[in-house]
Amino acid sequence: MAETHLSSAFFNPYAVAIDEEVAIALLADMHIRKAIERGEFDDLPGSGKPLDLPDRHDPDWWLKNLLKRERLVLLPPSIQLRKEDAALDERLDQMWSEADVRLETEEFNKRVLRGRYQPPAGPPLVTMPRDVEATVAAWADRRTVRAAEARAGVRAEAADEVRPRRRRFRRRRQ
């Protein structure tokens, strides 16, 4: 069998195959070093101050910081639905049309039913779906009461503004 000779130019023991990720990392390092040499990292806020690190390693530190920074609240679905149920009437009172109230109530009921069919994550779900027709009727009643109160308030203000003119009698001097 004949030996095949590879030229020395073809086989270079010092040549290294560079992966795309490695190339990107090397490029990033090069840019960072040049920026350091130019002094672009001087006078950054917080430079020279100690890092606020916890005593022990927490793998979810970034998630906790995100929740704190963005003021997000993650509650179990059962508690979230309880809070939504408590605030639903107030949210419905801000709506103008019966169709919007009906749609919002149906969406709430869908969330409750979805929560009932999911495995429990936290306390048990005690929130019940709302009767759409009863909720719409209660919304209409509250709306009527608010309108009557507003009309009564306007009438009271109008009565205060329009006072009967008092006649002034002049006494005759004799």
What would the pLDDT profile of 30-41 be if each residue is shown by its tens digit? 999 999 999 998
pLDDT at 12 over 90: no
pLDDT score, position 6: 53
> Does any domain span residue 142?
yes
Rounded CA separation 38/26 (Å) = 18
Counting residues of the chain whose pLDDT is more than 90, the rounded percentage is 39
Model confidence, pTM? 0.53
> Does any domain span residue 52?
no
> Does any domain span residue 45?
no
- Place 111 in a pLDDT band, splitting at 50, 70 and 90: very high
User: Residue range 23-28: average pLDDT?
Assistant: 89
> Does any domain span residue 122?
yes
- Place 103 in a pLDDT band, splitting at 50, 70 and 90: very high
Q: What is the mean pLDDT of the chain?
A: 83
pLDDT score, position 106: 96
> Does any domain span residue 172?
no
> Does any domain span residue 117?
yes
pLDDT score, position 162: 59
Q: What is the 3-state secondary structure (H, E, C) of 129-174?
A: CCCHHHHHHHHHHHHHHHHHHHHHHHHHHHHHHCCCCCCCCCCCCC
> Does any domain span residue 174?
no
Containing structural domain, residue 124: 77-159
pLDDT score, position 135: 95
Q: Are 130 and 105 in contact, with CB atoms under 8 Å apart? A: yes
> Does any domain span residue 167?
no
**Number of structural domains, the chain?**
1
Rounded CA separation 33/102 (Å) = 62
Rounded CA separation 165/158 (Å) = 15
